[in-house]
Structure 1
Amino acid sequence: MPTNTEGHEGSGPWTDEVVEQAAPGVFRIPLPLPEDGLRAINVYVLRHGDRATLIDSGWSFGPGQQVLERGLAQLDLDLGQIDRVLVTHMHRDHYTLAIRLRSLLGTRVLIGAGERESIEAAVDGAGSGVEDPWLSRWGAHELRPLLAARPPRPTSEYGLPDEWIDAPTDFAVGDRTLRAVPTPGHTRGHLVFLDEQAGLLFAGDHVLPRITPSIGLEVPRDPLALAAFLESLQVVRQLPDLAVLPAHGALGARSHRRADELAEHHRLRLDATAEAVGGGATTVYEVARALTWTRHEKHFAELDAGNQYLAVAETAAHLAVLVRDGVLADGRADGVDTYRAAAAAPSAARGETN
């Protein structure tokens, strides 16, 4: 495995197996993901003497753990020298390898207290997908057979952490101080970790450099997760302008500019969502089908079942904000949520969210 100490200007894609020095004592190791369009997750190794702390851990499967072991070996470390894992949020690509490392080696696992309900649901076997009761409310009945055809994901990878983080709070990691800052939206308990002295923001999935994070993909679902996400972008905007160390994507982004870009993206999506309702779409599913998706402007039918589910869930999040802001009015017919333009709707009020 090559070691790149030249920062984000390295020649390979960000998903290549490499150890990249992000800052003195901080190293990025991208780990592969199984059956996931994101391809990889960045795990950050914070070295302090002959010990290390990880920020996020990866997905609990053999190839990911093996890449982590090879990366640590490049730093003259092994899994047994990891004292703890600070986890940004409960999604399996961030959390579940930490649970496996604890079972093997006793590694301590810490995550935000806001994730308690979702992790307890995951441990109990609850999750999103074909059994999601929201599918009926969204009018997305056609998704059920598509989601049912996918292989089930095991829930045994989940477990409770050793410590729930009541953020904001500080952690000593060798000579550096990390501050855990709540940034709900992607999930209700999402945290970012700030190293202000070094000018670093370990951003998890809150601020990603090339893509926009999914909103509120958790059980139980928060209908106003997008509102929380937009408020959390302002939390980042009020911090110093920092180098973004994202969970997915290359290094090099700055936190203020990228937070502004993400807020603008959602402003445009709110406009497009309102226009779709004005064009005759009345349910979440109909609105999602009327919009285009991804940076490549794909039609809904071009997405696979998993991404169609994400698209419908994100559409629901935008519709909820538009209802809150008085742009749309909602109702229900035969158990399905419906939407229409509100009388005398404020034309630009939703843009004030960010």
Structure 2
Amino acid sequence: MITTLSESQASAFREGRIPATEHLDTDTAVVAVPTGDPANPFTLCSVLFGADGRAIVIDPGTDTAAGREHLLRELQAIGVSTLTGVVVTHLHPDHLGLAGTLREELAAPVLMHRLEDEAAAAVPPGPAELLAALDAWGVPADDMTVRPWSERNDAPAGHLGSTRADRTLEDGDVLDLPGRTIRVLHTPGHTTGHLTLRDEDRGILFTGDHVLPTIFSGLGLGAHSDENPVSAYLSSLERVRGYDDHQVVPGHGFRFSGLAERCDELAAHHLTRADEVRAVVTDDPGASVWTIASRIGWSAGWDGLAGLLRVSALTQTDWHRSRLQESAAVSAP
């Protein structure tokens, strides 16, 4: 059963407020950093102190004037004077944004998975790439929900951060924090190099956007990967669900327990979509991605999706169709 472990964070998230900093124990605090987005009002930034008094920050949040002022003030209030590192679970601006500020203010090195650092260095896809995808997906020539995006210079590459890592991380690495064992788990799906951090001694899992208590995270919102993001995400969920006895500190929302049940809910969400895609393809084997997507029961409804949301829906539909094709190829005699 999923249990809310912070009613303060939960109520603030529902009401669009910023909750007060919370202490999980004497050496672990969670600071809610404002994002400026009413629908997703804050990022949960975790602060882990080592036995030597130095600390590591996980996901410092969005780089806004309000966020910067709030985070620096809260870090000072809880006694942060020296940071051994700023760890970002993935390169989206609401997690990576203030990493550069902490590097400048507290001489803290920025750490992220190697694949996220490579993505930060890459040139993001632009209008030409989007136009090619729209054509491949069978988007009608007179469509006005996503076609205009292919003519914009900002279409739709705003997912990637630009701050580079001072040190990169790999699966299984242990962070340099005396007296604590904080292990890196590579959990791709949301992005290619997304990572989760496990405090092995205290039973805490810092999940970034991999597992959130109420939100279904988008998939493949980073650099291109040869691995299907749906398959990667389902595998990553299976990897962490065994830590059901851990407290979960996500990137957004509120602290909770009941990780296995939440992982099952997230997996079921994507498998239901896979079943919907399979049903359309079975009925109409030659259906385009556009046609398949238009027949799926999206949370906001197909007509409620436009711009980036519809691009995301089409992308996910394409991945699900590809998984079906790969599965059929494997099972063919």
Give the TM-score normalised by the residue count of structure 1.
0.79
How far 1:128 sits from its partner (Å)? 6.2
User: Which residue of 2 is the match for residue 138 of structure 1?
Assistant: 137
User: Which residue of 2 is the match for residue 288 of structure 1?
Assistant: 293
Query: What secondary structure is seen at the aligned counterpart in 2 of 1:203?
Result: strand
Match of 2:301 among 268, 292, 299: 299
Match of 1:8 among 6, 23, 46: 6
The CA distance in 2 between the partners of 1:319 and 1:36, in whole Å, is 34
The CA distance in 1 between the partners of 2:326 and 2:38, in whole Å, is 33
The CA distance in 2 between the partners of 1:310 and 1:131, in whole Å, is 14
Query: What secondary structure is seen at the aligned counterpart in 1 of 2:192?
Result: coil
| Alignment of structure 1 residues 176-191 onto 2, 5 Å | 176-191=180-195
The CA distance in 2 between the partners of 1:31 and 1:99, in whole Å, is 15
The CA distance in 1 between the partners of 2:77 and 2:103, in whole Å, is 22
User: Which residue of 1 is the match for residue 58 of structure 2?
Assistant: 55
How far 1:85 sits from its partner (Å)? 0.8
How far 1:225 sits from its partner (Å)? 1.2
Q: Which amino acid aligns with 2:33?
A: L
The CA distance in 1 between the partners of 2:257 and 2:138, in whole Å, is 38
How far 1:104 sits from its partner (Å)? 4.5
Q: Which amino acid aligns with 2:297?
A: T
Question: Does 2:275 align with 1:274?
Answer: no
Distance 1:312 1:222, change over 3 A: farther
Distance 1:221 1:37, change over 3 A: farther
How far 1:205 sits from its partner (Å)? 1.2
User: Which residue of 1 is the match for residue 169 of structure 2?
Assistant: 165
Residues 27, 45 of structure 1: 8 Å contact kept: yes
| Alignment of structure 1 residues 230-249 onto 2, 5 Å | 230-239=234-243, 241-249=245-253
The CA distance in 2 between the partners of 1:300 and 1:315, in whole Å, is 12
Q: Which amino acid aligns with 1:289?
A: S
Identity of aligned residues (%): 30
Query: What secondary structure is seen at the aligned counterpart in 2 of 1:211?
Result: coil
User: Which residue of 1 is the match for residue 200 of structure 2?
Assistant: 196
Give 1 or 2: higher strand fraction: 1
Residues 186, 213 of structure 1: 8 Å contact kept: yes
Distance 1:227 1:157, change over 3 A: closer
Distance 1:87 1:231, change over 3 A: same
Distance 1:222 1:290, change over 3 A: farther
1:201-241 CA-partner distances (Å, limit 9, x unpaired): 11111111112211111222446111111111111134463
Residues 92, 159 of structure 2: 8 Å contact kept: no
Residues 86, 111 of structure 2: 8 Å contact kept: yes
- Structure 2: gaps (5+ residues): none
Question: Does 2:87 align with 1:83?
Answer: no
How far 1:247 sits from its partner (Å)? 0.6
Distance 1:317 1:38, change over 3 A: farther
User: Which residue of 2 is the match for residue 309 of structure 1?
Assistant: 311
Q: Which amino acid aligns with 1:229?
A: Y
Query: What secondary structure is seen at the aligned counterpart in 1 of 2:230?
Result: helix
Query: What secondary structure is seen at the aligned counterpart in 2 of 1:189?
Result: coil
Bigger Cα displacement from structure 2, 279-288 vs 227-236: 279-288
Bigger Cα displacement from structure 2, 272-281 vs 305-314: 272-281
User: Which residue of 1 is the match for residue 44 of structure 2?
Assistant: 42
Match of 2:212 among 189, 208, 213: 208
Residues 289, 299 of structure 1: 8 Å contact kept: no
Distance 1:217 1:232, change over 3 A: same
Aligned length: 317
1:158-181 CA-partner distances (Å, limit 9, x unpaired): 132001112211124242110001
Distance 1:114 1:146, change over 3 A: closer
Distance 1:292 1:253, change over 3 A: farther
Residues 32, 45 of structure 2: 8 Å contact kept: yes
Q: Which amino acid aligns with 2:148?
A: P
Residues 128, 219 of structure 1: 8 Å contact kept: no
Question: Does 2:35 align with 1:25?
Answer: no
Residues 60, 157 of structure 1: 8 Å contact kept: no
1:267-286 CA-partner distances (Å, limit 9, x unpaired): 21111122233454822222
Residues 22, 251 of structure 1: 8 Å contact kept: no
Residues 54, 86 of structure 1: 8 Å contact kept: yes
